[in-house]
Chains A and B, each alone.
Chain A
């Protein structure tokens, strides 16, 4: 079964009187368990594409199917369930909440899924696994960039998602920290999780099984 299927997907933004097309007729299938990378210059529509694959946005036309469900047919509650249980996001700028500790940031998805003690134990385990066992009570501003992205990784994994969507996760990191993050993504993928990665760094893209190149809203 495919994890994500895009059929003839277009997305345009309305700017004043004109429609600004960002994606034009994208067809893409990500197989379950695959590690895919999407490359392209800045402004080519990579993030827009990832947001569609993550059910954060709806296409202007075309069909988006995530884990078997057509996004267009899902209600707000269904969509939030999908994002919460099936998907895990990793962003370039980490997106941690500044008033929460590392541990609380990791537990944020649990807050929306209804939790038991085991889940909190698991959250702690992942943080220990990414080497932040000593940083549970640190606030984001007390952590380095690499550490912050590892917290964000742990948060993406806490609900055991089927698909990880990572938007330039190494974009704000030095190469050593970038390699650590990529190592974790590779490890997660080997354990069976589908990974879709956006990058414009070809050495980062080399971790992927398949690389898609996008320019001006279409694959090349």
Chain B
């Protein structure tokens, strides 16, 4: 009996028991799809991708107020000025950011306003869509000028030309000088700012807001030096070390990535287990199929099929089922992965390596082989006469 004929018999039987075949495949389909989705997520957080995510926090250190419950101290303007003067520090960016009500010519909208400096705009690779960026003087002073993101420009001004427009805030108004597009993906927590002004401008609006965190822009080459001197600065000053801590945000995120990656590797295991469960469902259906076709097996043996040929026929059948299921699962998983990527506007980064598709397909076929073995050997060892007498 040729393999082609076995595959044909397999498809004939699949067709004859359409609903049952579909149900038996469902477990394999879902299992394979789950494996693909999880792999695509894991792959999306590979080391090289972590690097690109972290581009915006390159050469940045953070000093933040330790959370200790109760009475929390804050970072003072003196601290800010002092840090700015630390050797090798290019600039500092206090976290002055607030959600506020804003009014434009077409109405009002809520948005996040924050202070930025030159280092920040350059380091995060914002793309200038229209208008211009701040000049060095404008970003150092209370300039009442702002950059807005393209997304916010659409929300606030729809199809009006945003450059030169005024945005009214509760305290004062700022003028739009440029529209920027934030990088596709980044971990920088500042990136959710809709309206960016100079730090002195932001401070004016937010006098009453406390500063709990400040980014130190050191640049990559001097990062270690600055890190060392700031560590010393804080640890030598018991009063400061009481409530301040120095953080390398890259360490923090890398740690978070490692955690989420090991979590996802566990998820791959779980997905594989669900594929196994699919295999058990398949085995159940194959056992039913063998029982239903006992008479057919007897006949095939009477006509010259050896036990080995019968074994192969049923193995090919279960592998066809799991293979078709696996192929559908690969397709479904790919769709789900890309949908996740699209629906999250690129925030969930998915990437499916081709080899994962092949491996998932092969793995699901192997599931068919493994879980088909028991039913197939049951079929193969039927006595021809018992099977023929079976009605």
Contacts and interface: CB of A to CB of B under 8 A. Distances in A.
A97 B12 CA distance: 11
B16 to A, nearest CB: 6
Interface string A77-107: 1011101110001010001010100000000
Contact of B1 (A79, A81, A112): A112
Contacts of B388: 51, 56, 91, 95
Given A76-B306, A80-B306, A97 B1 contact: no
Given A97-B299, A99-B16, 18 more contacts: A51-B385, A57-B385, A76-B307, A77-B308, A80-B301, A80-B304, A80-B305, A81-B304, A89-B302, A91-B388, A95-B295, A95-B299, A99-B13, A109-B303, A112-B300, A112-B303, A112-B304, A113-B304
A155 interface: yes
16 contacts: A51-B385, A51-B388, A54-B302, A57-B383, A76-B306, A76-B307, A80-B307, A85-B304, A95-B299, A95-B388, A97-B296, A97-B299, A99-B12, A109-B303, A112-B1, A112-B306
A113 B295 CA distance: 21
B81 interface: no
Nearest to B296: A97
A111 B306 contact: no
Interface string B204-226: 00000000000000000000000
A29 B11 CA distance: 45
Across the A-B interface, give the 10 residue pairs with the lowest CB-CB distance, nearest first.
A84-B304, A80-B306, A112-B304, A57-B385, A56-B385, A56-B384, A109-B303, A51-B385, A111-B1, A99-B12
B309 A112 contact: yes
A80 B12 contact: no
B2 interface: yes
A99 B304 CA distance: 19
B300 A56 contact: no
A108 interface: yes
A91 B299 CA distance: 10
A85 B303 CA distance: 9
B251 interface: no
A108 B302 CA distance: 11
Contacts of A113: 304
Interface in A47-92: 51, 54, 56-57, 76-77, 79-81, 83-85, 89, 91
A113 B300 CA distance: 12
A86 to B, nearest CB: 10
Nearest to B389: A47
Contacts of A99: 12-13, 16
B5 interface: yes
Nearest to B6: A111
B12 to A, nearest CB: 5
Contacts of A84: 303-304
Nearest to B2: A111
Contact of A89 (B1, B295, B303, B305): B303
Interface size class of B (residues with CB under 8 A): 20 to 34
A121 B69 CA distance: 92
A105 to B, nearest CB: 10
Contacts of B307: 76, 80
Contacts of B300: 108, 112
A89 B301 CA distance: 11
Nearest to A108: B303
B300 to A, nearest CB: 7
A109 B304 contact: yes
Nearest to A77: B306
A169 to B, nearest CB: 14
Contacts of B384: 56-57
A111 to B, nearest CB: 5
Nearest to A109: B303
Nearest to A84: B304
Interface in B1-59: 1-2, 5, 12-13, 16
A79 B304 CA distance: 8
B296 A80 contact: no
Contacts of A95: 295, 299, 388
A77 B304 CA distance: 9
Contact of A56 (B12, B295, B302): B302
Nearest to B309: A112
B5 A111 contact: yes
A159 B302 CA distance: 13
A110 to B, nearest CB: 9
Specify which of B2, B12, B296, B299 lies most central, judged by the most chain A CB atoms within 10 Å of its CB.
Answer: B299
B6 to A, nearest CB: 9
Interface in B129-185: none
Nearest to A159: B304
Nearest to B295: A95
Nearest to B305: A112
A149 B234 CA distance: 99
Contacts of A108: 300, 303
A194 B228 CA distance: 102
